A and B are shown apart, each in its own frame.
Chain A
Amino acid sequence: MSKIIRVNMNNLSVSIEDVPENYFFDAGRSFTSKLVYDEIPPKCHPLGPNNKLVIAPGMVTGTAAPCSGRISVGGKSPLTGGIKESNAGTPTSQKIARLGIKAIIVEGYPEDKESFWKLFIDKNGAKLMEGKDLAEKTMEATNKHLISEYGDHIGIIGIGPAGRMELSAAGVCFNDPENRASRYAGRGGLGAVMGSKRLQAIIIDDTDAPGINIKDEELFNKGRKKLVEALRTHDLTKPGGVLNAFGTSAVINVMSEVGGLPVRNFAEGRFEGAEKISGEAVAEAIKERGGGMTGHGCHPGCIIRCSNVYPKPDGTEHVSCIEYESDWAFGANCDIDNLDHIAELIRLCNDYGLDTIETGAAVGVAMEAGVVDFGDGEGAINLLKEIGKGTPLGRIIGSGAEVTGQVFGQYRIPTVKRQAMPAYDPRGAKGIGVTYGTSPMGADHTAGYAIAAEIFGVTGKLDPLSTEGKIELSKNLQIATGFLDSTGYCLFIAFAIMDFEEGFQGVLETLSGLYGKEFTSEDVNKIGMDILSKEREFNRLAGITKEDDRIPEFMKQEKLPPHNHTFDFEDEDLNKFWE
């Protein structure tokens, strides 16, 4: 990938730049975080003209490497006030990469704040166009409209009404292989950043794209085969394995049984309705109703294919997809055990352009505040519709859990650095709690997925209720994840490559083959550490310090049933984490 598309929304111009030498090996998160660190003033207002939106596919994205259709979106987060990298799986990542584009950078904002714009990118370059035809459209309608105009081969990056309203729970939407508006770079409100720049959609046409130049094809293919073998062999990633057959929502049952699934706004760790909403229940409904599918892939070339398409009772399509985090956020967290309600809540988020985790957490806080009752699926649906309507109540929920908690005078707000916690309670799985507390991203589960070792037994078994070894576990994972987030590989390959050395070597060989330069495990460390130190420094300059590396007070004092633990790391332990 040799060029950068820079979009200036001040003067509505586009320029094509060569990739600077010091960015040559960067992609995905290593690109976005470096760019944010280099070019965005840390104290800028996230919705102002000085913030930027950076979109970058990963290193091997667009090649034949398996599970490599991932893309990073970066900027200063309106939610956390710190650096953000958010990630999605989408064919559009591959289209951008194959066009030879390292990154799309959007900066400034137009004087006329009334009008929205579209950006069209193809092999000839990029041009900005007026976006009047997209006015008022939700994401489903946007995708339908753009496909009717440009054809169904395009990639679409867009924001819905939530992004247009610059709400802090707004995500950046990418299309899935069937052009659904369903794959989100959800976390951290980057949809609001895109909205603040008045860019509503980016259309990618990769017809006759030049493709990716691989320096050493033989080495690349050798590595690719090793990785494919590892993925096909490992119990977790193999075709027909639980991820493929039941999707990530199968984890609902596991986390509930071990007592770490947050229920009713993080009040307890086991959900009575778990088996009604778990991956097995999703698969059963799909089987019984006809229509829909399990084993759906979010991008071509994925071997794992953990996504799904969930049908209505009559077999017509309801939503893609019911995955663990979304299922939890609107399910156990809201005490809703009806999959059809959960499906509709997810669909509304997809349509309005919202992060399901942040929105579900906000609804949970609102339920605790009595805005609607816990368990009231219809009530939750009506609450989300307020966001679509842009009412003050809707804007509150659409601004995330922290704002919702503050407006309704709540103590029990499950956030770190103002970002809502995902589907693991720190008191039931202390390693993930360390990650939530210390990641520059705020409460983020993928940033250092300690659950793999604490719960699933990947790379050994640790006791989730113990603090022992968890600092080291989280730190090592955060470093390795920084690297993985840059490669373009889906994080789930980690399950296979952490257990199978050959698979890990395969990953390194695909990178070595791509660049014609040897990548070793030292590079994994170096790239990961480099990303994290830039992210932390940006945060420090933005005003986020180690005093913000904290789990909420209520989790340090309230015991979580059934095991009745608190989050019992000392503040000093978290202070020392990055030393």
Chain B
Amino acid sequence: MNVEVRCYGNLCDYVGKGSGKPFWVEIDKQMSVKKLIEKLNLPEDEVKLHIVNGKAVEKEHILQDRDRVSIFPPIAGG
């Protein structure tokens, strides 16, 4: 199974991809967002928002094949 991942802000530095540039990651069945974050070597305390298919989810959310996953640091704005 694969998910399409996008990272943002300074999180890009950890995965070596441009901000918002999609990349595919192979995942196991029943893989949670938390496990994906670990797999990508993202520091957990720097991750604030996980959006799957356009909706915010908790770390425990289980990923499905071809999910669109966006991972953000703490962000707010105007």
Contact = CB atoms under 8 A, between A and B. Distances in A.
B6 A257 contact: yes
Contacts of A386: none
Interface residues of B, number: 23
Given A242-B9, A253-B8, A257-B70, A235 B77 contact: no
Contacts of B48: 235, 457
A245 B74 CA distance: 12
Contacts of B75: 236, 242, 250-251, 254, 456
Nearest to B53: A562
Contacts of A458: 76
Q: Mostly helix, strand, loop or mixed at chain B's interface?
A: loop
A214 interface: no
A288 to B, nearest CB: 12
B54 A259 contact: yes
Nearest to B18: A275
Given A254-B51, A306-B78, A465-B55, 9 more contacts: A242-B73, A243-B76, A247-B77, A250-B75, A258-B51, A278-B8, A278-B20, A306-B77, A461-B56
B10 interface: yes
**Which 10 A-B pairs have CB atoms at the shortest separation, nearest pair first?**
A275-B20, A280-B19, A248-B77, A251-B77, A235-B74, A257-B70, A248-B78, A259-B54, A456-B76, A236-B76
Contacts of A63: none
Interface string B1-41: 00000101110100000111100000000000000000000
Contacts of A562: 54
A382 to B, nearest CB: 28
7 contacts: A241-B74, A250-B77, A253-B19, A280-B12, A284-B19, A446-B78, A464-B56
Contact of B8 (A280, A306, A323): A280
B49 interface: yes
Contacts of B73: 235, 242
Interface in A225-281: 235-236, 241-243, 245-251, 253-254, 257-259, 270, 274-275, 278, 280-281
Nearest to B51: A257
A447 to B, nearest CB: 13
Nearest to A323: B78
A245 B54 contact: no
A445 B77 CA distance: 11
Contacts of A243: 76-77
Interface residues of A, number: 44
A452 interface: yes
A495 to B, nearest CB: 5
Interface in A57-75: none
Contacts of A278: 8, 19-20
Contacts of B21: 275
Contacts of A242: 9-10, 73-76
A123 interface: no
Contacts of A284: 19
B60 to A, nearest CB: 14
Interface string A23-35: 0000000000000
A324 interface: yes
Contact of A258 (B12, B19, B55, B77): B55
B56 to A, nearest CB: 7
Interface string A97-136: 0000000000000000000000000000000000000000
A563 interface: yes
Contact of B77 (A324, A461, A563): A324
Interface of A: 235-236, 241-243, 245-251, 253-254, 257-259, 270, 274-275, 278, 280-281, 284, 306, 323-325, 445-446, 452, 455-458, 461, 463-465, 491-492, 495, 562-563
Contacts of B19: 253, 275, 278, 280-281, 284
B54 A254 contact: no
B54 A270 contact: yes
B18 A495 contact: no
A495 B77 CA distance: 9
A243 B72 CA distance: 13
A90 to B, nearest CB: 16
B55 A245 contact: no
A464 B51 CA distance: 12
A246 B9 CA distance: 8
B74 A250 contact: no
Nearest to B21: A275
A280 B20 contact: yes
B78 A457 contact: no
Nearest to B71: A257
A254 B10 contact: no
B49 A457 contact: yes
A253 B71 CA distance: 10
Contacts of B77: 243, 247-251, 306, 324
Contacts of A456: 49, 74-76
B49 A254 contact: yes
A235 B45 CA distance: 10
Contacts of B72: 253-254, 257
Q: Which of A247, A253, A278 has the most CB of B within 10 A?
A: A253
Q: Which of B12, B70, B74 has the most CB of A within 10 A?
A: B74
A465 B56 CA distance: 11
B62 to A, nearest CB: 19
A286 to B, nearest CB: 14
Contacts of A251: 75-78
A495 B56 CA distance: 19
A275 B55 CA distance: 18
A257 B71 CA distance: 10
A253 B49 CA distance: 12
A259 B70 CA distance: 12
Nearest to B69: A257
A15 B75 CA distance: 47
Given A254-B49, A456-B76, A274 B20 contact: yes
